[in-house]
Amino acid sequence: MSDIVSSAPPLSSDPAEVTVRPAEARDVPAIVALITRVLAEFGLGFADGSTTDGQLVGLPEVYTSVGGAFWVASDGAGNLLGTCGVYPSAAGAFELRKMYVAPEGRGLGLGKRLFAEAVAFARAAGGNALVLDTTEAMRQAIAFYERQGFARDDTQIRGARCSRGYRLNLEAAVDEAGA
């Protein structure tokens, strides 16, 4: 894992200068590279056991055309540090997808910022729940989701590489602004 961290580009700006914005087609190669790199930390390969990985090549349209959204977080020099998407999964529910933060972006609050975008979008679109699936190996991600109020619900497992499912009731959730 130290090879992954040391080969990552250094942050070129203050963490306060990190921006979160909707993904654009020009971001696709960097998105795929970041997700591939993070998955490798857990011994997983891009597209292995996940049909949703392949959808990323069609960003942003593959998400926006069905009423979803996808965001990226980057530093002032344009280095991609994080990703997050929401995709309609059932009436009133959105699946939280591809929430990954590069090793060099961890500890900067990017997960919370990306998550806040997802919650705000889902609520604005009339969503009452966020669901997700993940793997046991991603312990820090699981802890993050549980701190945000997600409850374990293994009926949400969709991907073959996933072993845990979660659901968050948006009506009961409190966002960063305290709303």
pLDDT digits (tens, 9 = 90+) for 17-29: 899 999 999 999 9
Best CA proximity match to 59, nearest among 86, 40, 41, 37 = 86
pLDDT value of residue 26:
97
pLDDT at 12 (0 to 100): 46
Q: How far apart are CA 132 and CA 158, in angstroms?
A: 9
The pLDDT assigned to 48 comes to 87
pLDDT, tens digit, 9 for 90 and up, residues 41-55: 999 999 887 889 999
Q: What's the confidence (pLDDT) of residue 34?
A: 98
How is 160-175 classified by DSSP, letter by letter? TT--EEEEEETTT---
Query: Whole-angstrom Cα distance, residue 39 to residue 143?
Result: 17
What pLDDT score was predicted for residue 174? Answer: 57
Q: What percent of the chain has pLDDT over 70?
A: 87
pTM for this entry: 0.87
- What parts of the chain have a pLDDT lower than 70? 1-16, 173-179
Query: How far apart are alpha carbons 154 and 152 in whole angstroms?
Result: 6
Q: Residue 134: which H helix or E strand, with range?
A: strand 129-134
Can you name the CATH fold of 14-169?
Aminopeptidase (3.40.630)
pLDDT at 178 (0 to 100): 43
Structure confidence at residue 14 (pLDDT): 61
